[in-house]
Amino acid sequence: MAVKDDGGKVRFAIVGTGLMGIEHIRNLKLRPDAQIVALSDPTRRSLDKAKAALGEDANSVETFDDCAAIVAARNSGFALDAVIVASPNHTHHDTLKPLFGTGLHILCEKPLCTTLDDARRTVDAALAHTERTGGVFWVGMEYRYMPPVAEFVARVKAGAVGNLRMLAIREHRFPFLRKVRDWNRFNRNTGGTMVEKCCHFFDLMRLIVDAEPTRVFCSGAMDVNHRDERYAGEKPDIIDNSYTIVDFANGARAMLDLCMFAEGSRNEQEIAAVGDRAKLEVLIPDGDIVFSPRVGFAPKKVEREHVVVDEQVLRAGHHHGATYYQHGAFLAAIRGQGAVEVTAEDGLRAVAIGVAAERSVREKRAVELDT
Ligand SMILES: NC(=O)c1ccc[n+]([C@@H]2O[C@H](COP(=O)([O-])OP(=O)(O)OC[C@H]3O[C@@H](n4cnc5c(N)ncnc54)[C@H](O)[C@@H]3O)[C@@H](O)[C@H]2O)c1
């Protein structure tokens, strides 16, 4: 485990200081046990925005060209414990390389990588990193850490619905935002929408169903968004709506209903777990959990509860407080006080379901997965 400064703070570098890097900065700033000491981003404007988000702390932050420069500085005595990689998806594989074997604790944003080969190589390197140096490796899967979702998952796992048979996840939201240099408009940079965006939901499916997927069928297309956009003459190729069905080895089935031209929806995420005894739902951003036990033809006994999230935490990001709580779990793992909850293997498996879904769309067939 890394040596901390006298204040006991974990010292962080943020690599990639665009939208998500800044969300990490704003959330780490809420934690007395964390300090941001380094930034790295090839885009001047992103660095300037990150410094603005840091406020006074920007005066004591160092900037570096890349991870190799960060590691070289650390080898020469620069005090650093942890790195958050929030660069574009297709850069994760190479960005991570210099960090492996250093003993640094690493949180890499989802998706782990954009291809299965890169993800597999990264899993091997991450395992060796932890084994040889004790450095934690964690994949950013914020949706697990939205407090209402975390409560929902805990209740399903505690048996609230009985034997879980069906899990339906609906995300009806706004189109993909513009990103720095428009990297997210092309599958080659993102892995495809089913990897980029939906790895969150495939990760949730594995977590909640507690089994591995065996078959994926996905029907999707780019029907509404981005059709008139051109980047150096090239038209985007990313899915903006899809239905995905995932069969699991324990017989449970899950589905994802994704629509990215539905920003008028009251809730952006609606998740429903149905078992042989009851149905449990969670609604984001309403923050409500709805329990509907089976009652036959007797009067319904629906119970609705609201899960409160601290206002300051809600304001620090775009993910219903998730980034703050994920940092808490990551810091606990760094201190040896908690497990690594989202492993490199979890990251790989979420990518694998997304890759299978993308292939299913292209080939118009169900894709089998090895468990
Ligand atoms: N977990 C979530 O809910 C969530 C939400 C948004 C984004 N993300 C992930 O975070 C990552 C960043 O997404 P974003 O929305 O912040 O994109 P963005 O375009 O807003 O920012 C990306 C930043 O990375 C910089 N960059 C490019 N190449 C780099 C490199 N090799 N090294 C360091 N920095 C580099 C860019 O200059 C830019 O400032 C992506 O992997 C994305 O999938 C996760």
Which CATH number covers residue 74? 3.40.50.720
Asked if 284 and 185 sit in the same domain, the reply is yes
Asked, for residue 332, whether it belongs to a domain, the answer is no
Q: Check residue 220 and give its pLDDT.
A: 98
For ligand 1, say whether the CB of 360 is within 6 Å of any of its atoms: no
DSSP single-letter state for residue 183: G
Assign residue 279 the CATH number of its domain.
3.30.360.10
Helix ranges (DSSP H) in the chain: 19-28, 44-54, 67-75, 92-96, 116-133, 147-157, 187-190, 193-196, 199-209, 311-315, 322-334, 344-363
Do 199 and 274 sit in the same domain of this protein?
yes
How far apart are the CA of 261 and the centre of ligand 1, in A? 22
DSSP conformational letter for 325: H
In this structure, are 135 and 147 located in the same domain?
no
How many angstroms separate the alpha carbon of residue 24 from the centre of ligand 1?
11
Please give the number of the atom of ligand 1 that sits closest to the Cα of 183: 19
Residue at a domain's end among 92, 117, 141: 141
Q: Is residue 317 within 6 Å of ligand 1 at its C-beta?
A: no
Q: Which atom of ligand 1 is nearest to the CA of 94?
A: 31
Q: Are 12 and 79 contacting, i.e. CB atoms less than 8 angstroms apart? A: no
Q: Is 328 within a domain?
A: no
Domains contained in the chain, number: 2
Both tokens assigned to 280: 């449990």
Within a domain: 277 = yes
> What one-letter code names the amino acid at 193?
T
Structure tokens at 297: 């033809």
pLDDT value for 317: 97
pLDDT value of residue 1: 44
In a domain, 1, yes or no: no
Q: Which residues contact 59 (CB under 8 A, 6 or more apart)?
A: none
The confidence score (pLDDT) of residue 7 equals 59
Pair (183, 216) in one structural domain? yes
* Domain extent for 296: 143-318+342-368
Q: Is 331 helix (H, G, I), strand (E, B) or coil?
A: helix
Same domain? For 37 and 102 the reply is yes
Residue among 85, 109, 193, 268 to mutate when testing ligand 1 (max atoms within 8 A of CB): 109
Instruction: Clarify whether residues 205 and 307 are in a common domain.
Output: yes
Rounded distance, CA 255 to CA 357, Å?
Answer: 12
**Looking at the domain assignment, is residue 333 inside a domain?**
no
Atom of ligand 1 nearest to the CA of 196: 43
Last residue of a domain, one of 89, 113, 141: 141
Q: Are residues 298 and 210 in the same domain?
A: yes
Ligand 1 pocket member 269 (CB < 6 A): no
- How do the pLDDT tens digits run along the chain, 371 residues long? 444 444 589 999 999 999 999 999 999 999 999 999 999 999 999 999 999 999 999 999 999 999 999 999 999 999 999 999 999 999 999 999 999 999 999 999 999 999 999 999 999 999 999 999 999 999 999 999 999 999 999 999 999 999 999 999 999 999 999 999 999 999 999 999 999 999 999 999 999 999 999 999 999 999 999 999 999 999 999 999 999 999 999 999 999 999 999 999 999 999 999 999 999 999 999 999 999 999 999 999 999 999 999 999 999 999 999 999 999 999 999 999 999 999 999 999 999 999 999 999 999 999 999 97
CB of 21 sitting under 6 A from ligand 1? yes
- Whether residues 33 and 160 share a domain: the answer is no
Same domain, 62 and 148: no
Task: Please answer whether residues 160 and 278 qualify as being in contact, where contact means their C-beta atoms are separated by less than 8 angstroms.
Answer: yes
Residues 126 and 152 in one domain: no
Please say whether the beta carbons of 18 and 46 come within 8 A: yes
Of 126, 141, 156, the domain-final residue: 141
Q: How many angstroms is it from 94 CA to the middle of ligand 1?
A: 14
| C-alpha of residue 28 to centroid of ligand 1, in Å | 17
Q: How far is the CA of 227 from the centre of ligand 1 (A)?
A: 23
